[in-house]
Amino acid sequence: MPPPRQPPVHTSTAEASVAVQEQQTILIEKLIAEELQSSPRDRRSVTSEWKVRNFAWFLAPATVLLAIGTGMLMRGNVASLFNTTPQVVSHSNATPVQSPPQGRRKLKPAIATFVHRAPIEAAASAPPARSLPTTYGIFASSNGRMIRLEPMNIRLPDSRIAVSVLTTKPRTVVVPHGPLSFVAYQRELMTSAPDNAQLRILAQVARTPSSPAVAMANDAWAIRSVSVDLTVAPVPESREMVELQPVNPDLVLSPGRYVLVFKNQAYDFVVAGKVTDKAHCLERAETPDGDRFTECRNLP
């Protein structure tokens, strides 16, 4: 190995610069010589170390850029999921993320209110559905029952005539004593319904002492002008039905026989019970001017 060179003494700046360059060249040659003198294995390790360092310096910026791009992409996906579904699952702790509440809905108080009100509503029983006829006709409604009334084949007199129209038709339909209303179910009622109806007394004609020869007196009945006005109201369940009720809702018919006058047609029925009203009994007396009717002085 040659002896090291002694640095010369320079007298100018240019010479000093050239000397520095020469020293750098000498140092590089020395490092190359040492590298060449080292074993092949050491050279490979040094080379590999430099390769790893270069790859790490190249990979670090790429990794940072990839992480930033992935974060931006995931941020957009999470925002879209929050806009379309009320709940998403987080990848970190796998717990549901609740969406913002939409209004102040309190379920627990509503359930508690329902539980507390249930016994009260169950205790209040609904009113029973009223009975209505299923076939056409005129019916008396008593205690939820529909009782069909039969028509009478007679011509009704003027209501201003006190007593008229004797009939021998026996009593057929009997209704219980108590509140009473009527239901008319006819096809033509859909287009034309009367404004009112009437109940008139059908009084029994009794034999008078002065007329012993009247054979059928006890089986004869006469329509009187004594009447009860009825109101006519539609039935919501059917346009072909109307309901007839007394103008006085508290009225209860006394026992006896009556005629329902509806659309100039008579329908008779009997209110059950013992007759106590003298208006249901007439005495007939024959006079030169014709038959004369008076209320019975004593009920038979």
pLDDT(111) > 50: no
Separation CA 28–CA 40 (nearest Å): 20
> Is 6 a domain residue?
no
In this structure, are 193 and 269 located in the same domain?
yes
Q: Which amino acid is at 195?
A: D
Q: Are 242 and 232 in contact (CB under 8 A)?
A: yes
* Reduced DSSP (H G I as helix, E B as strand, rest coil) percent helix, strand, coil of the chain, to 5: 30, 30, 35
Q: Look up residue 238 and give its amino acid.
A: S
**3: in domain:** no
pLDDT confidence of residue 36: 60
* 254 token code pair: 């006394």
Q: What whole-number percentage of the chain has pLDDT above 90?
A: 32
Extract the runs of DSSP E, i.e. beta strands, from the chain: 87-89, 96-98, 137-142, 145-148, 150-151, 163-167, 174-175, 181-185, 196-206, 221-235, 238-246, 256-262, 265-271, 281-287, 290-295
State the pLDDT at residue 72. Answer: 73
How do residues 6-49 score in pLDDT, each as one tens digit?
A: 555 545 555 655 565 677 677 777 776 776 665 555 555 555 55
Using CB atoms within 10 Å of the CB of residue 179, give its burial: 0 to 12 exposed, 13 to 18 middle, 19+ buried.
Answer: middle
Task: Please tell me whether residues 277 and 143 are part of one structural domain.
Answer: yes
Higher-pLDDT residue of 228, 54: 228
**Residue holding tokens 């859909």?**
190
> Is residue 148 located within the same domain as residue 289?
yes
- Is 234 within the bounds of a domain? yes
pLDDT over 70, % of the chain: 55
Q: How confident is the model at residue 292 (pLDDT cuts 50, 70, 90)?
A: confident
pLDDT of residue 38: 59
Spatial contact of 97 and 87, defined as CB atoms under 8 Å apart: yes
CA distance 140 to 178: 12
Q: Which range scores top for mean pLDDT: 6-15, 123-132, 244-253? A: 244-253
Nearest to 201 by CA among 280, 271, 148: 280
Whole-angstrom CA distances from 24 to 13, 16, 29, 57, 131 are 17, 13, 9, 27, 124
Q: Is 167 a domain residue? A: yes
Higher pLDDT: 59 or 267? It is: 267
Residue 183 pLDDT > 90, yes or no?
yes
**Per-residue confidence (pLDDT) for residue 30, from 0 to 100:** 76
DSSP label at 249? T
| Tokens coding 140 | 């008396």
Confidence of residue 200 (pLDDT cuts 50, 70, 90): very high
Domain count, the chain: 2
Q: pLDDT per residue over 71-106, tens digit each?
A: 677 666 555 655 554 444 444 455 555 555 555 555
pLDDT at 138: 97
The answer on 247 and 169 residing in a single domain is yes
Same domain for 184 and 270?
Answer: yes
* Residue 199: pLDDT band with limits 50, 70, 90: very high
**Strands 174-175, 96-98: parallel, antiparallel or unpaired by DSSP?**
unpaired
The answer to whether residues 171 and 273 belong to one domain is yes
Tell me whether residue 23 is in a domain: yes
* Residues 165 and 54 both lie in one domain: no
Residues in Cβ contact with 257 at an 8 Å cutoff, skipping those fewer than 6 apart: 171, 201, 202, 203, 204, 221, 268, 269, 270, 271, 280
Count of residues for the chain? 300
Beta bridge mates, 23: none
**Contact between 193 and 206 (Cβ < 8 Å):** no
Same domain, 33 and 155: no
Same domain, 165 and 27: no
Does 184 score more than 80 pLDDT?
yes
What was the pLDDT predicted at 144? 87
* Model confidence at 268: pLDDT above 80: yes
Statement: residue 121 has pLDDT above 70: no
Q: What φ, ψ does residue 113 adopt, rounded to 5°? A: -65, -40
pLDDT band at 247 (very low <50, low <70, confident <90, very high): very high
Query: By residue range, what is the domain housing residue 265?
Result: 137-295
* Global pTM value: 0.55
Pick from 64, 79, 94: which residue ends a domain?
79
The pLDDT value given to residue 59: 60
User: Is 128 part of any domain?
Assistant: no
Same domain, 43 and 162: no
